Amino acid sequence: VTHSNPTPTHPLSDPSYHRVSPAPGVCVLLLSASTVSAVSLSVSPNLQQVFSGSSPVSLSCDDGWTVRRTRGNQTDECGPAADFRRLNESLCVQDLQTTFTAIYWCETSSGQKSDEVTISVSEKGVILEIPALPVIKGSNLTLRCRLSTGDTVAAYFFYSGRRLVSGHKEHTISNVQQSNEGFYWCATDLSGSSAHSYLRVRDPPTTSVRSSVRSRETMSPIPSLPPPPTNCSSPRPPPAPSSCAPVLRLLSHLLAFCIYSITTGLLLSICLDRLAARRSGNRLPVSVEMTQCIEQNYEAVVDITGERALYEDSEYSE
């Protein structure tokens, strides 16, 4: 099959939309894993082309928007026309009993408009099913050529005047990019070719993530830990008791006792010598001599005991 169709600049400018082919009904299916509408218009089923006599297409807008269409040279609002009737405040139904091509959009009372969506009802033997809403960039598309009976057949797939693949039942476009925008169609050996359908690609929607970050003024301050004590501010631990103190105390007692014993012995010896000398000279009675010796010995003992007391006091004070 050879095709030399010029590439139109807009779907409505493609004359193949209005041609009627006597060939049996065949359609090519172009599936999108994920589509996104950058507008407030919703379409179900999300298809640009449908066969005449198919189930009606429902269109809806967000609250405050109204579905409008341009068909030929006439622009009207959902509701008055019999084939473009309103089911409720936000849902409209488009009947598909006749052949036509129309552009649909959402509009507010102030004149704000959404992006436009094209839907074509055709009696051609072959039609192309493609999402009416833009396809998200980065998603995958699968093209299938399908008969009106529901059977898929081997077909030739074309994009913007060049053939993509021949003799396959489907053709997948992975990671759709902006360069994939354009007109697509398919053709079969027995059933002819489908109309051209324009694929639109859009960037993924940006989602704003709200982070609950409190300002420094509203945030409660984190309690700070006290600084560790420095060497200057920390008190010195008490000195450990020396193990030599009991030994020194014992030695001091022994030394005092030895001095006391030696002094006492010397004093007694001196007293006895004086006693013996004075007894031989008959100067004083024995009782008087002994009393003097005892008094002198007592004074010496008092001196030694005082020195010991002073020594112990000085030791304890240290």
- Residue that wins the pLDDT comparison between 48 and 128: 48
Taking the model in full, what pTM does it have?
0.53
Q: Report the alpha-carbon distance of residue 132 to residue 30 in Å, rounded.
A: 11
Whether the per-residue pLDDT at 137 is higher than 80: the answer is yes
pLDDT of residue 106: 93
Dist CA 23 CA 18 (whole Å): 15
Taking the C-alpha atoms of residue 208 and residue 167, their distance in angstroms, rounded to an integer, is 45
pLDDT of amino acid 64:
84
pLDDT digits (tens, 9 = 90+) for 101-133: 999 999 998 989 998 999 988 888 778 788 888
pLDDT of the residue at 67: 92
What pLDDT was estimated at residue 210? 44
Rounded Cα distance, 305 and 197, in Å: 129
> ω into residue 237 within 30 of 0, thus cis?
no
Q: Is the pLDDT of residue 180 over 90?
A: yes
Provide, rounded to the nearest whole percent, the portion of the chain with pLDDT above 90: 17
Q: Which of 5-9, 177-181, 273-277 has the lowest mean pLDDT?
A: 5-9
Name, in order, each residue with C-beta under 8 angstroms of 274's C-beta and a sequence gap of 6 or more. 289, 293
Structure confidence at residue 246 (pLDDT): 75
Q: What is the pLDDT of residue 183?
A: 93
pLDDT tens string 248-287? 888 888 888 888 889 888 888 888 888 887 777 655 454 5
Pick 227 or 148 by higher pLDDT: 148
Burial status of residue 132 (CB atoms within 10 A of its CB: 0-12, 13-18, 19 or more): buried
Residue 69, pLDDT > 80, answer yes
More confident residue, 79 or 211: 79
pLDDT at 133: 86
Whether residue 75 has pLDDT greater than 80: yes
Q: What order do you get walking across the sheet with 91-94 strand by strand?
A: 42-44, 57-60, 91-94, 84-86
Q: What local confidence, expressed as pLDDT, does residue 298 receive?
A: 53
- Which residue(s) pair with 32 in the sheet? 141
Average pLDDT, the chain: 72
Residue 189: its pLDDT value, please? 86
Fold of 11-202: Immunoglobulin-like (2.60.40)
User: Which pLDDT band holds residue 39 (cuts at 50, 70, 90)?
Assistant: low
Q: DSSP secondary structure string, 244-265?
A: THHHHHHHHHHHHHHHHHHHHH
* 225 vs 259, higher pLDDT: 259
pLDDT of residue 42: 92
Of residues 316 and 105, more confidence is placed in 105
| pLDDT bracket for residue 97 (50, 70, 90) | confident
